[in-house]
A and B are shown apart, each in its own frame.
Chain A
Amino acid sequence: MASEAHPISLTVNGRPVAASVEPRRLLVDFLREDLGLIGAHIGCEQGVCGTCTVLLNGASIRSCITFAVQADGAEVSTVEGLASHGELHPLQDEFSDKQGLQCGYCTPGMLMRACEILAQNPDPTLTQVREAIASNLCRCTGYQFIAEAVLAAAARMRESKEVAS
């Protein structure tokens, strides 16, 4: 049952947020309803499908089984933070180019998971990509073009990193 609200403060996509939430309020509802960040979707509400994936301090989590209060003091990243100045992130661009999405519902979770994968390993093999995205279900694509898009984005991100350095 409802009980007293708790104050929390966190960083969401680089911006500080302070709010007051019920202890039982789920992070996904907090993001979607309180902050209007509708990119994190609700799929199974049991932490299985990965549709609600966001990054908490850089690590992917299921926001449908995480309480908002657990994000107190943390840095949360969502799909809304991926594009910069209106320009798509290489992952977003390659998902479009390779048709790594159909209905688009799992896409934000997949994109955030892919960000994490490439942060950990900028040059993964196809098998490593498949193993890593097996955390997230997609019901439309059969994963083939998602994996292709992640590999293509990885190559682009490595190139731009080399240019930058």
Chain B
Amino acid sequence: MTATSRAAAAPPVRDHAAERRWVGRSIRRVEDPKFLRGQGGYIADRITPGTLHAAVLRSPYAHARILRIDASRARAAPGVHAVITGQQAAELCDPMPDFGPDPARHTWRCLAADKVRYVGEGLAVAVADSRYLAEDALELIEVDYEPLPAVVDPESALADGAPLVHEALESNCAYERSFDFGEVERDFAEADVIVTDRLRWHRSGGQPLETVGAIAEYDPATGSFTIDTNTLSFTSYLFMAANTLKVPANKLDIRPVPAGGSFGSKLFANKPGVIAAMCARETGKKVAYLEDRTDNISNCDHHGSDRIYEVELAMMRDGTMRSIKIDVIDDYGAYIQFGVGHHGNALAQVTGPYTIPSVRYRVRAALTNKNQQGAYRGFGSEVNNWMLEQMVDKAARELGLDPVAVRRKNFIREFPHFIPTGNVYDSGDYDKVLDKALELAGYDHWRAEQQRLREQEGRYIGIGVISAQERSVFSATEFWFWFDEPGAPVTSTPESVTLSVDATGGITATLYSCAFWGNSPETMVAQFVAEEFDCDPYDVSVAYHGSRAGLPATGPGGSRTTVMLAGAVEGAAAKIKQKARAAAAHLLEIAPTDLEWADGGFQVRGDPQQRKALGEIAVMLHLFKHTFPEDMESGLEASKVFDHPYTTMPSADRKDLGVFYPFMGHACHIPVVEVDIETGAVTFLHYAAVHDCGTLVNPRSLAGHIVGGTAQGIGTALYEEYVYDDDGQLLSASYLDYLIPSAMEVPELAIGHVETPSPYTPHGIKGGGEGGRMMAPAAINAAVNDALAPLGVRLTELPMTPERILSALRDAGKAG
């Protein structure tokens, strides 16, 4: 696509209001009161007397054929209502919804039927009067396994002759393709220096403190399922879950309940709901299946990225970046439910904030005997951020240049800017963010301290500076542009809101796929509604609609919720106001165009005494239909299905992927760390973070997401890893071994905001929920490497556990 035609495909540039009453204020969250009182209404809080409990038998083997299951003793145990084996489940249910490359050849079921493919995979479920009795029953199930060789290392998995995770696929490579964007070979030929590296990012995951759970009921009279769950999302695709349960989509209602955190890991997590529903239909009773922690760590289907990079960065001696070749193997585990969408995330911002003119991106998706990947805050783009910033630092070091100056030299400064993959960056001011961060960090002070402490006390202080992107609001194309002939080239990722004004003027907002996941959909919507109608946000009521008969909706993910809800509220409010204006004009006996909206009602231009407040209009519309012209219906309600505001299609040759992640946030993180070269421990001395995600809605909420995301990034950088040994045994199957940062590992953050509004979204908002975790791993790695630079040591593998740091020091002959 040419530059002109690219620009022509952009949506109109918006005028943003100069002043706002509610958007931009750090109001208390409207969700909080129930949680503070311990009345959250989470899924476990909703189990009613008489509900049966399910527990899942997990595989102790990484890879084994199931020769025989005998559940007869379990079925006869006290309080047990049913035991369903994987073989039986395969008859009761079709395979799970799967967006992978070739689902028929890497078939994924709610319970393993023929062989188990990772430690923790479910192969039977027991249903009993209590969780205690269900777990007792699991002990009585006898299984004969034929252990098979485990495929654990992703590079070995791709080698010839490796044992196959899925025989039908005839390979452990689920996807492979190389893309060229721009003139890669020309740019490499013209470069002065090629900087190369191999980088390793191990898997971690969201690990919300509440696991995934569902309570299901089956009504034989209507043939309908009702599933209450903490995972509702992608309502538009829940017909696929209905297919799994073999019922029509309109006979399945999945209803959202508040979730105790997700961080991506509850995205489209339908397996517990399917298991509970299957058990409910078999027993004729309401059934709850709540994962325990071991289920969640080993069998949640939401492990994060697990990548090996070979990278070449083409540079000029003056620090100009010319091109980059990225070759990545991603260990997807035993299944690949979302395809390689995680790399779509990476391609949205693959060149970071820099004017790199060309990119080669080769991706290979390896299947191994591990739990499969799903979503974790960043969805794979955080890994790309880390890789790119590592390369920039390495280039600066090899060229003898200042890493801050190299970044600044290559910053994009004109917007909208199309990167080589075709995605657009809508707006930004990267210098401003960097300047503010350097100031907030006390950068010059710490550089002086670093030198002083090195020379006088022999301490190793490191300062990391990274500048990176936070894409927001994905469109569906990133899940299928991988294929020349995609199976389902869908183009819609909408979000919907219904606004209902009751007879007294009270406003209720109904959300369709946006449950509460720890983000603040109710507060965001309340602030938007208050902005539109000049009401108090605490007077707005928010309701959550189930999937049945719900409007098209997608839900949290890809930092889209706030922007999309803003658009949906704006659209629904416009419809409400249009009807209210017509009604007020009729009541005031004046032309609609002579009215203006002010202070929560319509008034005559130039004569504010003549006005009708929204409540006065609403009561007339609800109760006094015959006051109005024949064509005006009773009531005051409107819905808006807000489609993705800026998507363009990929080119047929896939040299241009189109616009798919246009609202581009940006951040600079500057941690100051000390590395103890005797113990390998890393401690924080300071941490500054400046984010720009457009217009702020609730600055304190965003700050909370920045700190929380950074805490998770600290986990990714230093502590958290799902460790599988050479036999595929999961060594970190509890919180005793999977180390989540506590208040002693997370420092106080100095937080700064820059606001560069998006020209294309309501109020100029960009998403910001993932930024902390998208920056921190790169920044902390940079800081550790800066600390160890005098020793000639660089860490290239995350997490940087004490063991890995000491090992790197030993390899360099620098062990303390």
Please report A residues at the B interface, Cβ cutoff 8 Å: 1-2, 22, 24-25, 32-33, 37-46, 48-49, 51, 78-80, 82-83, 88, 92, 95-99, 101-108, 111, 126, 129-131, 133-147
A46–B261 CB distance below 8 A:
no
In the complex, residue of chain B having the shortest beta-carbon distance to the beta carbon of A135: B742
* A residues in contact with B734, CB < 8 Å: 44, 46, 48
20 A-B pairs besides A103-B209, A143-B746 with CB distance below 8 A are A40-B38, A49-B209, A51-B209, A88-B33, A88-B37, A95-B32, A96-B33, A96-B36, A98-B700, A99-B703, A103-B258, A104-B34, A105-B518, A134-B744, A135-B742, A138-B743, A139-B263, A141-B707, A142-B708, A142-B709
Given contacts A48-B734, A102-B518, A142-B707, A133 and B743 within 8 Å (CB-CB): yes
* A residues in contact with B210, CB < 8 Å: 41, 43, 103, 105
B704–A145 CB distance below 8 A:
yes
Given contacts A2-B78, A102-B704, A37 and B38 within 8 Å (CB-CB): yes
| Complex Cα spacing A2 to B133, Å | 8
B44's contact among A42, A129, A137, by CB below 8 Å, is which?
A: A42
A41–B260 CB distance below 8 A:
yes
| Complex Cα spacing A58 to B520, Å | 33
B260's contact among A92, A105, A129, A130, by CB below 8 Å, is which?
A: A105
| Complex Cα spacing A82 to B39, Å | 12
B44–A130 CB distance below 8 A:
no
* A residues in contact with B136, CB < 8 Å: 1-2
Given contacts A105-B42, A139-B712, A147-B743, A99 and B133 within 8 Å (CB-CB): no
> In the complex, how many angstroms separate the beta carbon of A85 from the nearest chain B beta carbon?
13
* B residues in contact with A101, CB < 8 Å: 32, 35-36
A143–B704 CB distance below 8 A:
no
* A residues in contact with B262, CB < 8 Å: 103
A80–B292 CB distance below 8 A:
no
Q: What's the dominant secondary structure at chain B's contact region?
A: loop
| Complex Cα spacing A51 to B260, Å | 11
In the complex, residue of chain B having the shortest beta-carbon distance to the beta carbon of A144: B707
B39–A92 CB distance below 8 A:
no
> In the complex, how many angstroms separate the beta carbon of A15 from the nearest chain B beta carbon?
16
Given contacts A24-B132, A41-B42, A102-B518, A139 and B261 within 8 Å (CB-CB): yes
B37's contact among A79, A99, A137, by CB below 8 Å, is which?
A: A79
Instruction: Sample 25 A-B pairs with CB under 8 A, ordered by A number.
Output: A25-B132, A32-B45, A38-B38, A38-B40, A41-B209, A44-B735, A45-B292, A48-B736, A80-B37, A88-B33, A99-B700, A102-B520, A104-B31, A104-B34, A104-B40, A105-B261, A134-B742, A136-B742, A137-B742, A138-B743, A140-B708, A141-B707, A142-B707, A142-B709, A143-B743
B39's contact among A39, A44, A131, A133, by CB below 8 Å, is which?
A: A39
Given contacts A137-B209, A139-B209, A145 and B736 within 8 Å (CB-CB): no
* B residues in contact with A136, CB < 8 Å: 742
Please report B residues at the A interface, Cβ cutoff 8 Å: 26, 28-29, 31-40, 42, 44-45, 47, 78, 132-133, 136, 206-210, 258-263, 292-293, 516-520, 700-701, 703-705, 707-712, 734-736, 740, 742-744, 746, 748-749, 772
* A residues in contact with B209, CB < 8 Å: 41, 43-44, 49, 51, 103, 105-106, 137-139
* B residues in contact with A102, CB < 8 Å: 261, 518-520, 704-705, 708
* A residues in contact with B707, CB < 8 Å: 141-145
> In the complex, how many angstroms separate the beta carbon of B28 from the nearest chain A beta carbon?
5
B736–A130 CB distance below 8 A:
no
A96's contact among B32, B208, B293, by CB below 8 Å, is which?
A: B32
| Complex Cα spacing A25 to B130, Å | 11
B743–A92 CB distance below 8 A:
no
* B residues in contact with A108, CB < 8 Å: 38
